Structure 1
Amino acid sequence: MTTGALSRTEVELKVQLDRKDVLAAGVVRLTLRHPDGGPVPEWEPGAHIEFVLRDDLVRQYSLCGDPADRSTLQVAVLREPDGRGGSDYVHRELAEGDLLRIRGPRNHFPLMRAKKYLFLAGGIGITPILPMIDAVDRAGADWRLAYGGRSRDTMAFADELVARYGSRVSLSPQDETGRLDLDALLRRACRRTAIYCCGPESLLTDVENRFSSRNRGALHLERFTAKKVDAQTSGFEVELARSRLTLNVPEDRSILEVAEDAGVPVMSSCQEGICGTCETPVLDGVPDHRDSLLTEAERAANQTMMICVSRTCGKRLVLDL
């Protein structure tokens, strides 16, 4: 079990799609291997990898296998008909034997040490929770999982979880029992309980709204979609210290876009502030954080920012870029 975030070291490599299994309605599991049989990258619970499906189609998926198994990586992907095309590509185009480009692993949802754990999962949000549960169970920690979904047939890993862990797991198919009773679940959680939640934005928002700023340190969230930010936007100046450039960022463009136009190489992916790929150190100035990733403490520290969406509270920023 980790006690903090992993290092930012990551790799880019090609892997082979070894197996593609249907887990539930609209959900497939991909099992990936190194083409020459070598070990896959190390990772810890909460990590995700980035699929470069095409140059213009890059998506992130949580790892849901066994971190101790260096022979494979596993992800589970929900097909979203109204999505941006990534999940549809995975379901329709990828076949066993295909070679895929991946980056990572990255971990912005690390499993912290705690006395007790409450895991809240909605739909495909179960994926990063699975290795967390395995880790805390092996460590002998006290934990519970409340897992909700639209219907039982859409809830991947549900039967497997109940068979393995019994009464520690409670399932809430919405068409049978309604939505998760968050008030009851959170009321029963004691002060020393770390709460990990992943799922649709409606679930994350409902959970966040039940926490005050004083007790939000116990809450750990991972978003698959960007959190809505209602804020005014104006232009500003950004200095890229390593590139020795000072650029104007107009109100209708991001720092990332302006930097790329100036020929500065920047790694990016989601361009929504949820994947962490473009996280950049801040040398001077106060960022206006508009991402869906950094914790309140990390935002207050103002050491890094996601330049795909975040801006500045003043007129100027200096970045280590």
Structure 2
Amino acid sequence: MTPGSAVPTVTSGPSLHEFTTELTVAIRRQVADAVVALELVHSEGDDLPAWEPGAHVDLLLAEGLVRQYSLCGDPRSSDRWHIGVLRDPNSRGGSQHVHEQLCEGATVTVRGPRNHFELVDSPRYQFIAGGIGITPMMPMIAAADRAGADWSLLYLGRSRTTMAFSDDLLQMYGDKVTVWADDERGAMFDLQGSLQTPRTETEVYCCGPGPLMDAVEKLCSHWPEGSLHLERFAARKQTGEEAAAGLDSYQVVCQRSGITVAVEPGISMLEALEDADVPILSSCLDGVCGTCQTRVLEGTPDHRDSLLNAAERASGSVILPCVSRSRTEKLVLDL
């Protein structure tokens, strides 16, 4: 969930008092094989916080289970939030809970919204979605279309029956949308041919399974810096060089709390901070969602997340303590 701007935006993690409320499932629809779409509303009819394309919310499920889902409705509608949820066959409990427990009339605690996948202004966009990765793209596409931008969507999937909202997108936007189902086409889409020539003033947005994201990232390596924007659902694999870069033990100075925390081998920075009762929100624990993102005031982070872009990593101005470590013996954080 990362913006691809060449100039990093320095932000802290979410406030401990950010918007959290209980919402009701007003409408539930089956929109593809193993995919349900939920419309969430406030029981009293209250307006919900404003959001921009690319934003996601946390669903606080049973027994401390927290999962992030992209908002896929219209940001101009303040009375409801839309999400789409794929039932993962390897679910650790989140998508299973949504599919089995969140029927119409059920309630769920929701926190956010939060956005690490902002739509930047551009005259041209190339959107690439794989499977459930279509959800954050839908409000982006609508916004780009309203702005009169030149855009196209490549929507990839194994079968059209698994590709949520594909018929709606084709009906609304026609030939701007390419739906590529492997079982119909008999072959995988030629991503290399599509991305081999960089296009000026074009932002590439991609969301979907890890192999798709890795392929697009590699194929766009020669595009202008900052033109590729990725949102991952799962952590990318660390290279051996990355894994060996950080120190095994170091100190974290929490500037606002006045607490210095020793991080020892075998525990994460986040675990050490939580054990010292330093106030910090967390969620995915995999360096994907950005909930724990924190400003770095001094020291050099050892980035091991799957969220920050190259410019944000190079600046050393933010860190995700759930997975990242330190390359210096002392790291001063805005906590």
**Residue 310 of structure 1: aligned partner:** 324
CA distances 1:195-240 after superposition (whole Å, capped 9, x unpaired): 0000000000001111336624110000010111131251222112
**Residue 126 of structure 2: aligned partner:** 118
For residue 215 of structure 1, the aligned residue among 217, 224, 236 is 224
- The 3-state SS of whatever aligns with 1:113 is coil
1:300 equivalent to 2:308? Answer no
Asked if structure 2 preserves the Cα contact closer than 8 Å seen for 1:15 and 1:34, the reply is: yes
Gaps of 5+ in 1: none
What is the TM-score when the length of structure 2 is the normalising length? 0.91
Q: Separation in 2 of the partners of 1:248 and 1:297?
A: 28
135-144 or 204-213: which moved more?
Answer: 204-213
Q: How many residues of Structure 1 are paired with residues of Structure 2 in the alignment?
A: 320
139-148 or 47-56: which moved more?
Answer: 47-56
**Residue 173 of structure 2: aligned partner:** 165
For residue 245 of structure 1, the aligned residue among 255, 259, 263 is 259
1:196 equivalent to 2:196? Answer no
Percent identity over the alignment? 48
CA drift at 1:242: 2.0
For residue 75 of structure 1, the aligned residue among 68, 83, 86 is 83
- The 3-state SS of whatever aligns with 1:318 is strand
1:279 equivalent to 2:279? Answer no
Asked if structure 2 preserves the Cα contact closer than 8 Å seen for 1:6 and 1:110, the reply is: no
- The 3-state SS of whatever aligns with 1:217 is coil
Asked if structure 2 preserves the Cα contact closer than 8 Å seen for 1:3 and 1:113, the reply is: no
30-39 or 180-189: which moved more?
Answer: 180-189
1:24 equivalent to 2:38? Answer no
* AA at the equivalent of 1:84: R
CA drift at 1:6: 12
CA distances 1:172-206 after superposition (whole Å, capped 9, x unpaired): 11122222321122136512111000000000000
1:38 equivalent to 2:38? Answer no
Asked if structure 2 preserves the Cα contact closer than 8 Å seen for 1:3 and 1:111, the reply is: no
Gaps of 5+ in 2: none
- The 3-state SS of whatever aligns with 2:167 is helix
1:15 equivalent to 2:23? Answer yes
Q: Separation in 2 of the partners of 1:236 and 1:3?
A: 30
* AA at the equivalent of 1:124: I
For residue 267 of structure 1, the aligned residue among 270, 281, 286 is 281
Q: Separation in 2 of the partners of 1:181 and 1:83?
A: 30
Asked if structure 1 preserves the Cα contact closer than 8 Å seen for 2:10 and 2:318, the reply is: no
Classify 1:289/1:146 alpha carbon distance in 2 versus 1 (closer, same or farther; 3 Å).
Answer: same
Q: Which 4+ runs in 1 deviate beyond 3 A?
A: 2-10
Q: Separation in 1 of the partners of 2:70 and 2:276?
A: 33
Q: Separation in 2 of the partners of 1:189 and 1:166?
A: 24
For residue 95 of structure 2, the aligned residue among 84, 87, 90 is 87
CA distances 1:133-158 after superposition (whole Å, capped 9, x unpaired): 00010111100000001101000000
Asked if structure 1 preserves the Cα contact closer than 8 Å seen for 2:196 and 2:220, the reply is: no
Q: Separation in 1 of the partners of 2:277 and 2:22?
A: 27
1:181 equivalent to 2:181? Answer no
Asked if structure 2 preserves the Cα contact closer than 8 Å seen for 1:64 and 1:131, the reply is: yes
Classify 1:242/1:55 alpha carbon distance in 2 versus 1 (closer, same or farther; 3 Å).
Answer: farther
CA drift at 1:309: 0.5
Asked if structure 2 preserves the Cα contact closer than 8 Å seen for 1:119 and 1:145, the reply is: yes
Q: Separation in 1 of the partners of 2:207 and 2:141?
A: 13
Q: Alpha carbon RMSD of aligned pairs, Å?
A: 1.9
- The 3-state SS of whatever aligns with 1:239 is strand
1:142 equivalent to 2:145? Answer no
Asked if structure 1 preserves the Cα contact closer than 8 Å seen for 2:198 and 2:223, the reply is: no
* AA at the equivalent of 1:229: Q
Q: Separation in 2 of the partners of 1:238 and 1:189?
A: 42
Asked if structure 1 preserves the Cα contact closer than 8 Å seen for 2:286 and 2:322, the reply is: yes
What is the TM-score when the length of structure 1 is the normalising length? 0.95
CA distances 1:34-67 after superposition (whole Å, capped 9, x unpaired): 1101111111100000000124200000000011
